[in-house]
Structure 1
Amino acid sequence: MKITKAQFKIIEHLLPVQRGNVKIANIQVINAILYIAEHGCKWRGLPEHFGKWSSIYKRANRWAKNGVLDHVFEVLQDADVINIQVNEVSLDSTIIKVHPDGTGALKKNGPQAIGKSRGGWTTKIHMVAADDRTAVTFSLSPGQSGDAPEGRALLKTLENCGWEGTNVIMDKAYEGDDTRQLVFDLDMVPVVPPKKNRLTPWEYDKEMYKKRNEVERLFRRLKGFRRIFSRFDKLDVVFRFFINFSLFMDRLISVNRP
């Protein structure tokens, strides 16, 4: 996978301008990060044709800590080049196994959403998706965290989005009263099946519920990037960097193929 010059022009103005005697252009750095994300290799494993690995690493690390790709992700959501038509959204989470290289950082270095569950050291990605290629928002939590509380925190970010009447598709992990009431408070419609032990079960749109697989397909696409399939990064800020990068790069390349 490689980004073309035409595709790069869509995001070029959103990246910091390099000043001084800079030998490695931003497009070269983007393609190097894409290689790392796709293949999951260490920075030292970058092929030589990308340039000096340490220079690329330093620039990528600076972008991560400055939230550069968070900004790119937000801008592309609102841009005409990637126009999100929201008729319904899906809420779900997925478990990411943490590689030994991703553990052991000092807490003072920054947040680390890593916890021990039955699967060992894991991180959860919680996501609201508009379709199988478009993430609306996401967050990280330790692997042992419950889905519903984290899901409610994400849903609250949708307030004042102008999506009144939009269906919110969720599985049974989110069928609790607090989560459903929050969706109603947002003037949205919860589409979630009740658990079998519900004394007063409700009706829900079963055909609409079938679209829940879209967020699962998005997770599948995201895990096609080896740097997401396993977490190698100790700090959340760097892991988020790769998630943002993989999301918008996959979308950008797929909808703007020459």
Structure 2
Amino acid sequence: MEITAQQFKIIENLLPIPRGNVKIANLQVLNAVLYVAEHGCKWRGLPKKFGRWHSIYMRANRWAKQGVLDDVFLALQDNDIINIQVDHVSLDSTAVKVHPDGTGAFKKNGPQSIGKSRAGWTTKIHMVAAGYNRAVAFSLSPGQAGDAPEGRKLLKSLENCGWEGTQVIMDKAYEGDETRQLVFDLGMTPVVPPKCNRLSIWEYDREVYRKRNEVERLFRRLKGFRRIFSRFDKLDVVFKFFIHFALIVDTLISVNRP
């Protein structure tokens, strides 16, 4: 897989003008990052066709620290590239195993959302998705963190989106009173089944709840990238760089997806 020139035109003006080794174009850097993300290889393992690996690494590292792909991701949301109508969103999380290369050096500068759970060293990716092909927001937490508290932080980020009346699809991990009340306070409608030990249960739209698989399908595509399926990076800023990159690539591909 590679990013085509036609797809690159969508985000070309959102990327900074190359500096340093200008012989390597931004499209070439993006396809090199795509190779690393897909294959999970080290930067030194890049094929020579992409150019000098260190030059590509330095530009990618600079983009990660400057939040370049964060801005591209937000710009794609604002431009509504994939042109879908938001009538519901899905909230969920997935766990990612941390490779031994990604553990240790906890005194290294920068946040590291890595924690020890039953599955060992893991990181959780929490995500709000609108449909199967559009991530709205995501965050990272240590693997042992609860879903509901992190989910509420993401939901609060939707406060000024103008999505009043939107249905929020969640599984039973988010059926607590505090989470449901937050959804109501945001002017949205929670679609979440009550737990079996609830004294007072509520009705929910079972037909809409079936669409919860959309965020699962998005997670499945993300984990097709080996640098996301297994976390090799100690710092959150680098791991988020690859997640933003994968989401951007998925959006660009979805433009031509039926």
Contact 1:89–1:167 (CA under 8 A) maintained in structure 2 = yes
Number of the residue aligned with 1:9? 9
Contact 1:94–1:126 (CA under 8 A) maintained in structure 2 = yes
Contact 1:77–1:84 (CA under 8 A) maintained in structure 2 = no
* Residues 177 and 24 of structure 1, relative CA distance in 2, 3 Å threshold: same
Q: 1: distance between equivalents of 2:89 and 2:116?
A: 30
Q: 2: distance between equivalents of 1:111 and 1:201?
A: 40
Q: Where do residues 21-170 of structure 1 align in structure 2 (5 Å cutoff)?
A: 22-170=22-170
Question: For 1:48-106, what per-residue CA distance to the aligned partner results, in whole angstroms no more than 9, with x for missing partners?
Answer: 10001111001000000000000000001111423342110000000000001111234
Q: 2: distance between equivalents of 1:156 and 1:52?
A: 43
SS in 1 for 2:165: coil
Name the TM-score, length of structure 1 as normaliser. 0.97
Residues matched between the structures, number? 257
The offset of 1:200, in angstroms, is 0.4
Greater mean alpha carbon deviation, residues 16-25 or residues 33-42: 16-25
| Structure 1: gaps of 5 or more residues | none
Number of the residue aligned with 1:229? 229
Runs of 4+ off more than 3 Å: none
Question: For 1:175-225, what per-residue CA distance to the aligned partner results, in whole angstroms no more than 9, with x for missing partners?
Answer: 000000000000000000000000000010011100001001110011011
Q: 2: distance between equivalents of 1:168 and 1:220?
A: 20
Asked if 1:192 is matched to 2:192, the reply is: yes
Q: 2: distance between equivalents of 1:92 and 1:81?
A: 23
Question: For 1:104-136, what per-residue CA distance to the aligned partner results, in whole angstroms no more than 9, with x for missing partners?
Answer: 234341000000000000000000000111100
Contact 2:21–2:55 (CA under 8 A) maintained in structure 1 = no
| Structure 2: gaps of 5 or more residues | none
Q: 2: distance between equivalents of 1:249 and 1:105?
A: 31
SS in 2 for 1:136: strand
Contact 1:7–1:256 (CA under 8 A) maintained in structure 2 = no
Contact 1:105–1:235 (CA under 8 A) maintained in structure 2 = no
Q: 1: distance between equivalents of 2:113 and 2:54?
A: 26
SS in 2 for 1:214: helix
When the two chains are superposed, the root-mean-square deviation of aligned CA atoms in Å is 1.2
| One-letter amino acid of the structure 2 residue matched with residue 222 of structure 1 | L
SS in 1 for 2:127: strand
Q: 2: distance between equivalents of 1:71 and 1:84?
A: 20
Contact 1:97–1:230 (CA under 8 A) maintained in structure 2 = yes
| One-letter amino acid of the structure 2 residue matched with residue 185 of structure 1 | D
Question: For 1:33-57, what per-residue CA distance to the aligned partner results, in whole angstroms no more than 9, with x for missing partners?
Answer: 0111111111111001000111100
* Residues 62 and 20 of structure 1, relative CA distance in 2, 3 Å threshold: closer
* Residues 192 and 44 of structure 1, relative CA distance in 2, 3 Å threshold: same
SS in 2 for 1:107: coil
| One-letter amino acid of the structure 2 residue matched with residue 139 of structure 1 | S
The offset of 1:23, in angstroms, is 1.5
Q: 2: distance between equivalents of 1:251 and 1:41?
A: 23
Q: 2: distance between equivalents of 1:200 and 1:126?
A: 28
Name the TM-score, length of structure 2 as normaliser. 0.97
